[in-house]
């Protein structure tokens, strides 16, 4: 056999969870041609992997990088993902997908996706098929699978209206979902805490999910509430914890529709929410035991990026640009936010500005809102609303207290340790502003801190939950395992030294221990450096 490359003497961690084994791995024509534990193999090129683990490339199935991939310079912006071992992403999450689109709806589509993008799109595509084809034409740094977002469907069918859809509008959304799924979308995503997902009631979702189930797609969902109280359920302080209610509703919806469910980025927001983590995990387990095809995902940080609008209730988001200048609305908002922050156990120092969106606020990027208030000489609420107003609600923030804080992370560890948990970044990586550490260190942090140092799971299990498990959840075939015939998407790392080096103030520090990353049999990164000009990424269709 004519072998292009042989990776010699590595410990193969094949993604399935089975124990690692010493073998040579051969690559030919971009695929894994042989895995030999017996006779040594030889090829035109050789990488000595003595002392290294050889794993399938990591899958980040909760990515927002689909909003950067259409840009010609995406390989420069997205390099930190590859440098941590990611070879496949799944985009279109939290209800936001760049397709389908329509030129006359471009302004509204731009509006809902503002915080995910680097700049506005010319929308050189309309259908999902055209979107995927245009990415293929341009060449991709890494592999992409994509979900169709509820936000795009609702905006195309209804414009920016907040009420329920008419029967005709709902039928349009179902038709658009069906077309996208037949065009290769892996499934359907919703973001029920952001506009326009926040306006969708369960009957609208159920109708859409029946279509998704009929087409064999997965449903990934950013739930209504990730905290024990939220503005979404009234009266606020009665009944079960809101994150538990939200989880139950989603499990019920999936059961009714018969759809495969992936609960996106399971987090417990605010110090007073942390105590609910066992109840929520138990609820998911019970649904799985009763036969529902359900899983969840999580990232290994107590911070996560979101938009400045995340603390605003639905009534304030509806007509945001007027309300943000309306003193009566602002007085009511201040009362509600104060109450919410107290109830949740979140302070202004837990909210950090990543990207202000306007140059006059750029000097505040990277600071938390307690520091920003001091700089601006304003009370914290006024400082927060100042940034919200000037950025027109588009500023990006990093919120701490997700399942823990620097002093306590039991809920985070419970989520990560759970066998149904796939590992994801959920990061928004653009060229603008300060960064979420997840863009740089997610997978090295799992392998270093949580696997090797804290012993939450063995190495084989850590790799399974960043490769074969998420591939199965999203219905991706041909990635996430080391097996003959599969595409040679591989990561070589040193289990002894692999580590995330990010820290507050150094959120863009590169990781250690990731020795080489291959996509389609080509080395894309080696010893922490990108190999320029390699675009071997493929579009993965359902
Ligand atoms: Zn989300």
Range with lowest mean pLDDT among 55-64, 288-297, 468-477, 499-508? 499-508
Q: Are 223 and 89 in the same domain?
A: yes
| Residue 465 Cα to ligand 1 middle (Å) | 19
| Residue 57 Cα to ligand 1 middle (Å) | 23
* 18 belongs to a structural domain: no
| Residue 250 Cα to ligand 1 middle (Å) | 15
Across the range 195-202, mean pLDDT stands at 93
In 3-state terms the chain splits into helix, strand, coil percentages (rounded to 5) of 40, 20, 40
Q: How many domains does the chain have?
A: 2
Looking at 368, 399, 430, the residue that finishes a domain is: 399
Across the range 171-178, mean pLDDT stands at 98
* 105 belongs to a structural domain: yes
Q: Are 271 and 386 in the same domain?
A: no
From residue 395, give the alpha-carbon distance in Å to each of 305, 367, 400, 437: 11, 13, 16, 18
pLDDT of residue 41: 87
| Residue 82 Cα to ligand 1 middle (Å) | 22
Q: Are 199 and 293 in the same domain?
A: yes
Q: What's the rounded Cα separation, in Å, for the pair 181 and 409?
A: 38
Query: Residue 528's pLDDT band (boundaries 50, 70, 90)?
Result: very high
| Residue 60 Cα to ligand 1 middle (Å) | 14
Looking at 345, 379, 399, the residue that finishes a domain is: 399
Q: Are 341 and 424 in the same domain?
A: no
| Residue 306 Cα to ligand 1 middle (Å) | 8
Looking at 348, 364, 399, the residue that finishes a domain is: 399
| Residue 222 Cα to ligand 1 middle (Å) | 5
Q: Are 94 and 220 in the same domain?
A: yes
| Residue 230 Cα to ligand 1 middle (Å) | 16
* 51 belongs to a structural domain: no
Domain that holds residue 248: 56-303+402-529
Looking up residue 102, the CATH number of its domain turns out to be: 3.20.20.140
Q: Are 407 and 387 in the same domain?
A: no
Query: Residue 504's pLDDT band (boundaries 50, 70, 90)?
Result: confident
| Residue 199 Cα to ligand 1 middle (Å) | 16
| Residue 448 Cα to ligand 1 middle (Å) | 25
| Residue 171 Cα to ligand 1 middle (Å) | 26
pLDDT (tens digit per residue) in 443-500 = 999 999 999 999 999 999 999 999 999 999 999 999 999 999 999 999 999 999 999 9
Q: Are 387 and 462 in the same domain?
A: no
pLDDT of 207 over the 90 cut: yes
pLDDT of 294 over the 70 cut: yes
| Residue 263 Cα to ligand 1 middle (Å) | 10
Q: What's the rounded Cα separation, in Å, for the pair 533 and 519?
A: 13
- Spatial neighbors of 128 by CB under 8 A, at least 6 apart, are 99, 100, 146, 148, 179, 180, 183, 184, 185
| Residue 133 Cα to ligand 1 middle (Å) | 26
Bridge partners for 22 per DSSP: 11
| Residue 191 Cα to ligand 1 middle (Å) | 6
Looking at the chain, the whole-number percentage of residues with pLDDT higher than 90 is 89
Across the range 290-317, mean pLDDT stands at 93
pLDDT (tens digit per residue) in 28-54 = 999 999 999 988 888 999 999 999 999
| Residue 170 Cα to ligand 1 middle (Å) | 23
pLDDT of residue 310: 85
| Residue 299 Cα to ligand 1 middle (Å) | 12
| Residue 30 Cα to ligand 1 middle (Å) | 34
| Residue 7 Cα to ligand 1 middle (Å) | 38
* 538 belongs to a structural domain: no
Average pLDDT along the chain: 96
Most confident of the ranges 57-61, 122-126, 238-242? 57-61
Q: Are 358 and 490 in the same domain?
A: no
Q: Which long-range contacts (CB under 8 A, 24 or more apart) does 235-238 make?
A: 236/343, 237/343
Query: Residue 118's pLDDT band (boundaries 50, 70, 90)?
Result: confident
Q: Are 320 and 441 in the same domain?
A: no
Q: Are 419 and 324 in the same domain?
A: no
| Residue 148 Cα to ligand 1 middle (Å) | 14
* 370 belongs to a structural domain: yes
Across the range 115-137, mean pLDDT stands at 92
From residue 225, give the alpha-carbon distance in Å to each of 97, 267, 393, 404: 21, 10, 20, 17
pLDDT of residue 1: 67
- Spatial neighbors of 176 by CB under 8 A, at least 6 apart, are 100, 148, 153, 156, 157
| Residue 483 Cα to ligand 1 middle (Å) | 32
Range with lowest mean pLDDT among 60-74, 306-320, 506-520, 521-535? 306-320
pLDDT of residue 422: 98
| Residue 51 Cα to ligand 1 middle (Å) | 37
Token digits of residue 14: 């094949």
Across the range 394-414, mean pLDDT stands at 95
Range with lowest mean pLDDT among 306-315, 373-382, 468-477, 511-520? 306-315
pLDDT of 240 over the 80 cut: yes
User: Do the beta carbons of residue 482 and residue 15 sit within 8 Å?
Assistant: yes
Q: What's the rounded Cα separation, in Å, for the pair 342 and 257?
A: 37
* 13 belongs to a structural domain: no
Query: Residue 417's pLDDT band (boundaries 50, 70, 90)?
Result: very high
| Residue 264 Cα to ligand 1 middle (Å) | 7
| Residue 331 Cα to ligand 1 middle (Å) | 28
Q: Are 316 and 345 in the same domain?
A: yes
Across the range 114-135, mean pLDDT stands at 91
* 146 belongs to a structural domain: yes
| Residue 252 Cα to ligand 1 middle (Å) | 20
pLDDT of residue 314: 80
Q: What's the rounded Cα separation, in Å, for the pair 196 and 165?
A: 12
Q: Are 172 and 72 in the same domain?
A: yes
């Amino acid at each position: 056999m004519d072998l292009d490359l042989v990776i010699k003497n590595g410990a193969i961690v094949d993604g399935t969870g089975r124990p690692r084994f010493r073998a040579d791995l051969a690559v030919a024509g971009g695929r894994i041609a042989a895995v030999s534990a017996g006779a040594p193999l030889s090829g035109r090129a050789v990488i000595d992997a003595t002392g290294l683990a050889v794993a399938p490339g990591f899958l980040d199935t909760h990515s927002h990088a689909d909003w950067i991939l259409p840009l010609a310079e995406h390989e420069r912006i997205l390099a930190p993902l590859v440098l941590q071992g990611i070879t496949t992403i799944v985009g279109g999450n939290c209800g936001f997908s760049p397709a389908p689109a329509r030129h006359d709806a471009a302004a509204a589509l731009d509006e809902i996706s503002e915080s995910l993008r680097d700049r506005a799109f010319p929308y050189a595509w309309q259908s999902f098929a055209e979107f995927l084809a245009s990415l293929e034409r341009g060449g991709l740094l890494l592999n992409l699978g994509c979900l169709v977002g509820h936000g795009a469907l609702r905006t195309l069918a209804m414009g920016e209206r907040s009420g329920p859809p008419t029967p005709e509008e709902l039928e349009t959304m179902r038709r658009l979902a069906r077309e996208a799924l037949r065009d290769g979308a892996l499934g359907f995503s919703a973001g029920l805490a952001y506009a326009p997902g926040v306006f969708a009631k369960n009957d609208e979702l159920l109708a859409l999910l029946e279509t998704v189930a009929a087409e064999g797609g997965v449903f990934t969902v950013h739930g209504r509430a990730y905290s024990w109280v939220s503005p979404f359920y009234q009266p606020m302080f009665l009944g079960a914890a809101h994150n538990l209610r939200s989880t139950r509703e989603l499990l019920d919806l999936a059961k009714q529709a018969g759809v495969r469910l992936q609960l996106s980025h399971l987090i417990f927001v605010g110090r007073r929410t942390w105590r609910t983590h066992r109840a929520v995990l138990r609820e998911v387990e019970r649904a799985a035991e009763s036969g529902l095809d359900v899983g969840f995902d999580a990232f290994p940080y107590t911070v996560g990026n979101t938009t400045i609008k995340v603390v605003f209730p639905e009534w304030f988001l509806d007509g945001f640009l007027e309300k943000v200048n309306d003193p009566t609305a602002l007085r009511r908002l201040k009362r509600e936010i104060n109450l919410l922050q107290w109830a949740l156990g979140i302070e202004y120092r837990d909210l950090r500005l990543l990207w202000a969106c306007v140059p006059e606020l750029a000097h505040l990027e990277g600071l938390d809102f307690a520091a920003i208030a001091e700089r601006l000489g304003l009370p914290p609420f006024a400082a927060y609303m100042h940034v919200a107003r000037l950025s027109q609600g588009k500023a990006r923030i990093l919120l701490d207290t997700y399942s823990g804080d620097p002093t306590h992370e039991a809920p985070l560890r419970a989520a990560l340790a759970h066998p149904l948990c796939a590992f994801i970044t959920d990061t928004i990586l653009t060229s603008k502003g300060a960064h979420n550490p997840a863009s740089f260190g997610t997978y090295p942090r799992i392998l270093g801190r949580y696997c090797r140092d804290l012993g939450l799971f063995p190495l084989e299990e850590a790799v399974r939950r960043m490769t074969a498990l998420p591939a199965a959840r999203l219905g991706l075939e041909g990635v996430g395992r080391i097996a003959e015939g599969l595409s040679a998407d591989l990561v070589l790392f040193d289990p002894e030294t692999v580590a995330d080096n990010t820290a507050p103030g150094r959120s863009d520090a590169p990781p250690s221990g990731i020795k080489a990353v291959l996509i389609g049999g080509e080395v894309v990164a080696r010893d922490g450096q990108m190999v320029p000009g390699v675009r071997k990424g493929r579009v993965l269709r359902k």
